[in-house]
Amino acid sequence: MNPSGSAPEPDVVRPEVSIIVPARNEEASLGDCLHSLTAQTGVSYEIIVVDDGSADRTRKIAGSFAGVRVISPGPLPAGWTGKNNAVVAGAKKARAEWLLFTDADTVHLPGSLAWALAEAKSERADLLSYSPAQVVVTSAERAVMPIVFAELAAQYPPHKVREQSTGVIAANGQYILVRRAAYDATGGHAAVATEILEDVALARRFRSAGQRGFFRFGGDTVRTRMYRNWPQLREGWTKNLALLFPHPQFLAFRSLILWVAAWATLGIAALGALSGHVLWIGFSAVWLFVYGRILKARFSATNTLLALAFGPPVFSYLVQRSKNAHANGQVSWKGRAYSTVATRSSTPAETQAPRANPRIEDAKLRTEN
């Protein structure tokens, strides 16, 4: 009984997972995302959509789902990125022991939330991150995305990321599940608020603090279509590519050389087959090597062929464009311009030594056709 003599109010049952979805002008994808999230079973959860100043139907769509809380993040602090501001606002409202940060362009397979939570616990992970299966539709997506994710797979092999003793650190911000206590102990997204590549920066802080991370391809759990047209794709990768690779200019050059070598040697092999010069056919090994390298990105064979045919020159252009933008000190995304001068993640995670006592700055990868 309480002092007034009435019966005590029942305890509010806390969910096991708080799902935080930052959304800025996501009317094209948010509905599918929330349909997949509200259909999850096997675990209790709450869903918080953070409407980050959308000018379209994003907020209305989010509010149409029963049980989904829609909040606004408030003014954007100087130096912070919009996404970090949004997820920090969502985390402040979250009530669960586990937090899932996932993007509005993701679609989650039935039962995947329960599977992910079980995997995080079985792996004793404080941070679990999946690289979603990539859905590609337009010609630009089909040509470029396999090349990008092939290079990412080579730069950040998941088995090396999972080895806590290595300097290879990665996470995919489209799906990050964290234990709340560990998240708060590392400072969370507020500690990396000025980082453009906030997912890798967050994973680095977890590693530096001695928290355990787990990373793998998550096509069995979640899929996403990152970009829906060429302008979005160009802007998005311009923002990120130079931060993901240690030597972007060399990478752009190497991609072009491999592309030329692959098709030139395939031509030599074809001439050998026609003229009876058996040894010439061996030149096809170069083409097969490049094809196999792209195939590791887990896209279909058809998309891998399309990417090999047209993707490397476009990828090289995007890498060089990203390098130039960062060198000039500014990148843009969704109507906002961000300075790259103070970005501490300007070099890839594996080239940066872990910090024993990271400082909190208050101001601041498989496809479906």
* Residue 341 pLDDT class (50, 70, 90 cuts): confident
**53: which 2 tokens?**
């100043």
The pLDDT assigned to 91 comes to 98
Identify the three-state secondary structure at position 312.
helix
Q: Which among 142, 99, 116 is positioned nearest to 220, based on CA atoms?
A: 116
Quick one: average pLDDT of 134-150?
97
- Tell me what pLDDT residue 280 has: 76
Confidence (pLDDT) at 349: 45
Q: Please report, for the chain, the start and end positions of each structural domain, with discontinuous segments joined by +.
A: 17-144+155-228, 244-348
Identify the band that residue 94 occupies on the pLDDT scale cut at 50, 70 and 90.
very high
Q: What is the pLDDT of residues 198-211, one digit of tens each?
A: 999 999 999 999 99
Residues with Cβ within 8 Å of 264's Cβ and at least 6 positions away in sequence, in order, are none
- C-alpha span between 139 and 29 (Å, rounded): 19
User: Which residues are CB-neighbours of 344 under 8 A, at least 6 positions away?
Assistant: 194, 195, 201
The number of C-alpha atoms within 13 Å of 130 and in the hemisphere containing its C-beta is 27
Model pTM score: 0.87
Q: Report yes or no: 22 and 103 within 8 Å, Cβ to Cβ.
A: yes
**pLDDT surpassing 70 at residue 367:** no
pLDDT at 276: 73
- What pLDDT band is residue 342 in, cutting at 50, 70 and 90? low
pLDDT of residue 351 exceeding 70:
no
What secondary structure letter does DSSP report for 99? E
> What is the average per-residue pLDDT within 19-39?
98
Report the percent of the chain where pLDDT is more than 70: 89
Per-residue pLDDT, averaged over 239-265, amounts to 95
Lowest mean pLDDT among 120-124, 135-139, 164-168: 164-168
Q: Residue 215: its pLDDT value, please?
A: 98
Is the predicted pLDDT of residue 347 greater than 60, yes or no?
Answer: no
Task: Compute the distance between CA of residue 149 and CA of residue 254 in angstroms, rounded to an integer.
Answer: 16
Q: Are 263 and 313 in contact (CB under 8 A)?
A: no
Q: In this predicted model, which residue has the larger pLDDT, 115 or 346?
A: 115
Fold adopted by 17-144+155-228: Spore Coat Polysaccharide Biosynthesis Protein SpsA; Chain A (3.90.550)
What does the pLDDT read at residue 124? Answer: 97
Residue 283: per-residue pLDDT: 85
Going by pLDDT thresholds of 50, 70 and 90, the confidence category of residue 343 is low
Whose tokens are 């208050």? That residue is 362
**pLDDT (0 to 100) of residue 12:** 64
Answer yes or no: is pLDDT of 352 > 50: no
Write down the pLDDT at residue 369. Answer: 37
Q: pLDDT grade, residue 345 (50/70/90)? A: very low
Query: What is the model's pLDDT at position 64?
Result: 97
The answer, yes or no, to whether residue 82 has pLDDT greater than 80, is yes
